[in-house]
Chain A
Amino acid sequence: MSEALDALVIGGGPHGLTAAAYLAKAGMRVALLEAAAEIGGTCANALALGDLTVPAGAQTLYALDPRVVSELKLVRFGLKFAARDLMQIGLRTDGKPLLLGRDARAAARSISAYSQRDAAHLVDFRRELFAFARAQRALWWEDGPPAALPDELRRQGATGAAAMLDAAFESEAMRAVFAFDAMAGGMSPAAAGTALLFAWRAAQEMCGLQGAVAVPRGGMAALAACLSAAAQGAGVEIRTGAPVARLLLSGDAVSGVVLASGEEVAARIVLSSLSRRETLLNLAPSGAAGFAAAKRLTHGAEVGEAKFVMTLKAVPGFAALQPAARFLIVERLENCIAAHAEARAGRLPAELALEAVVPTAFDTALAPPGTDILSVLVRPLPVVPAEGWSKLAPRLSEAVMAILERHAPGLRANITGLICVTPKPLRDPLEISQLRASWRARIATPIAGLYLCGEAGEPVPALSCRAARIAAAIAAAHLKGAAR
């Protein structure tokens, strides 16, 4: 075994790559361990769909930290965006689609078919939400002191998304178009504090636009490739095909890892981009996480989301409204609350919320000519259904097809290939209280020298890399403090 590394990063997804790159830039000797043969985690093009390969994870970027893009010089490593500000479009069965673009007047025109009042209110709604969100950037962007507007933060931290939307909009259509986002992280729109999910989302910035949704050119795998190049450029040693079996501790501090092959890799600190549960229950020695924490960690998230990716012979009809758009298909906000309860009980909900994107409509390089890709996220779904996913997946697939067919007649006949990614089991449950907690509280663990740099460190699970950036700073400060 060679001399101990300064830092080890577990997991080669965007979070792990980001953390490793920052640590290496700070002058540390860093190695990154990835279990799979390819780097990228859920962003890697790991799933075969006909002649194409697609990633299992996120389909859009709405929370990527702009400072990660600039500080790691991702543009120099080839990061380009195929779409910078996807329009939010609500597809309705009871009327015309809602086109909620950044242009408030155009948005108001499309809302006025449903409600004049809502059309007039959208501007105020966005202004207030964006202003409040900006005020919380100290909390959500930095490892800094508590945010401004503490009373409003506390109030929203106790308000359900459904109550907030009910207060803001009178029409069913407007409430429904926000319902998909209200179920982020497997939450029910009725759960206390889910109103904060909107503010958190609005506090994000993509391509210099607040609250924008973007898609990188070449898909998510391209982002992972840029981060990988940045990490290697900074001097990170990347090892693929190296799954970690367990953490090594000396006393109550981490001292390295043991790989599945039995090889021991020593390091002064370890950053894990895996879930809190995976890191502290499965990799750490029994009891090291604390008895009460371990008990809490045994309860994984009960409600999650599935992803469908299909190849089509022709673009679905709704894509003609606006190619660069996210199409939200939700009938009623209230139904989502009931659907969430059904999903929690392990059943397939009667009603589902869909977010559809047609990436080939704005990034033609993704597929050969004549082939289009439709990517759909479906919420809320049971993580562990009573009948098992092998039986539920075909039924879910049928239900999703029926919904899509309603909005794009003839779609089914155009499908040439389909893949379904069922909800990831053993995911950390989202806790709304984390939206008001400090970064350090999420990133640090009960084990000295072990930090969480993945989604577990984020206030809301998302492809943000912000936790990785802050974790790297905290870990580097730890190493400097220990050296002194």
Chain B
Amino acid sequence: MNALRATPFHARAAEANKLNAWETRGGFTLAAGDPGEAVAARFGAVVADISWHWRASISGARAGEFVSRLVTRDPARLQPGEAMRTLWLNDAGGVRGLGTLARMGRESFLLISTVDDLGWLADGAALYGVQVRDVTQEVGVLELIGPSGGKILAAAGLEVELQPFALRKLFWRGLDVTLSRFGDGIELWCAPDDALIVWDRIAAAGRPFALCPAGQRALDILDLESGIVQPGRDFTPVRDGFSPKPAPQSLGLGSLVEADHIFNGKRGAAGPDKALVGLLFDSETPAPQTYVMRSGAVVGRTLGSLLSPALRRAIALAAMEPGAAAPGTVLTAAGAPCRTCALPFLPPR
């Protein structure tokens, strides 16, 4: 077996992991936590370690040209410090990845995803003479989720007004940090060596707000409740260069494909557009990656599915045929009755 691959916050996460439940994400050992922590994020705030998210830096004189060809949305309009959610496809239009592309400078970008795809980026970048580097281990990232998240940061001395999909570099009492809003909450990035100081400062500032550490299971629930699709968990990205499945449209991600932008795999990226909707089950049994039926006919497919402790029932993200996507449509998935609802399941915090 390999030695433990830990994130920069591991020492603190180990102290906080009272259940001693662990799981592996992206090769890192992380606290699994308890689904109940997702409820805490609805009322107060939780802090979670997302350092394991894969990050690749893309830099070089032709980085903009390469990134533009790589992703399904036009990155030219991104200013430094801005980001967007985007897909990247193989030659035949199959989805290879889904993540956040951030522009760090005029000629440098950062691609963040829950599933790594460095080989694909390196192959493409070689055509443009652009450097691609896996920088996952060069940064520690904490995510603060919950209504009190902003207040905790303010109490810690990080009072910043931040738009969604924006990031800002700050100097925070002797430390270089970055704040961003790419997901459910606010992400705080720091150098790995500063990680424990950052954790301690946030924990101290969060004590009056009952800040509690959350594990990866709670993060999954919060993602799903917000209607955020993650590769690996909600669908399996293609790893072959020439296989057309899954197409973006079949995952209900057609909105991430810009018709007038030219990108790799564009000619294959077509097909009947499915709608991404939420499914609310009557029961508590999740039904991931299964067909959704209406009167005996398949009308869609679920992506990720989990038990939502806040809603006290199972929820699922589903790619549905437009005719069966209207909120309130009664369906069955894996034999269980369910109905569609608009995303997100719960209002954003």
Contacts and interface: CB of A to CB of B under 8 A. Distances in A.
Interface in A292-310: 292-296
Interface stretch (B12-20, B123-131, B144-152, B196-204): B123-131
A409 interface: no
Interface string A443-478: 000101000000000000000000000000000000
B267 A291 contact: no
A295 B262 contact: no
B122 to A, nearest CB: 10
Contacts of B165: none
Contacts of B128: 286-287
A448 B128 CA distance: 21
A291 B266 contact: no
B241 A287 contact: no
B225 interface: no
Contacts of A405: none
B241 A446 contact: no
Contact of B91 (A251, A292, A448): A292
Nearest to A295: B123
Nearest to A287: B69
Interface string B97-133: 0000000000000000000000010011001100000
B264 interface: yes
A290 B264 contact: yes
A128 interface: no
Nearest to A296: B241
A292 B241 contact: yes
A290 B265 contact: yes
A446 B90 CA distance: 12
A287 B267 contact: no
Max chain A Cβ within 10 angstroms of own Cβ: one of B70, B91, B128, B267: B91
Main secondary structure of the interface of B (DSSP, over half): loop
Given A290-B264, A291-B264, A296-B241, A446 B124 contact: no
A399 to B, nearest CB: 38
Contacts of A251: 262
Nearest to B120: A291
A287 B123 contact: no
Nearest to A249: B262
A398 interface: no
Interface string A235-276: 000000000000000011000000000000000000000000
Contact of A252 (B62, B90, B127, B267): B267
B123 A294 contact: yes
Interface in A276-290: 286-287, 290
Contacts of B127: 286-287, 291, 294
B189 interface: no
B66 interface: yes
A446 B267 contact: yes
A287 B266 contact: no
A252 B262 contact: yes
Contacts of B172: none
Contact of B241 (A286, A291, A448): A291
Contacts of B91: 290-293, 446
B22 interface: no
B242 interface: yes
Nearest to A448: B267
A59 B91 CA distance: 38
Nearest to B267: A446
B260 to A, nearest CB: 9
Max chain B Cβ within 10 angstroms of own Cβ: one of A286, A293, A446: A286
A292 B266 contact: no
A291 B120 CA distance: 8
A294 B91 CA distance: 10
A448 B127 CA distance: 20
Max chain B Cβ within 10 angstroms of own Cβ: one of A251, A252, A290, A296: A290
A431 to B, nearest CB: 13
A5 B153 CA distance: 64
A297 to B, nearest CB: 10
Contacts of B265: 290
A39 B309 CA distance: 76
Interface in A185-214: none
Contacts of B66: 286-287
Nearest to B262: A252
Contact of B123 (A292, A446, A448): A292
Interface of A: 251-252, 286-287, 290-296, 446, 448
21 contacts: A252-B266, A286-B65, A286-B66, A287-B65, A287-B66, A287-B124, A287-B127, A290-B91, A291-B91, A291-B120, A291-B123, A291-B127, A291-B264, A292-B241, A292-B242, A293-B91, A294-B123, A295-B241, A296-B241, A446-B91, A448-B267
Given A251-B262, A287-B69, A290-B265, 15 more contacts: A252-B262, A252-B266, A286-B62, A286-B127, A286-B128, A287-B65, A290-B91, A291-B127, A292-B91, A292-B241, A293-B241, A293-B242, A294-B124, A294-B127, A296-B241
| Interface pairs A-B: 8 shortest CB-CB | A292-B241, A290-B91, A291-B124, A286-B127, A287-B69, A292-B91, A295-B123, A252-B262
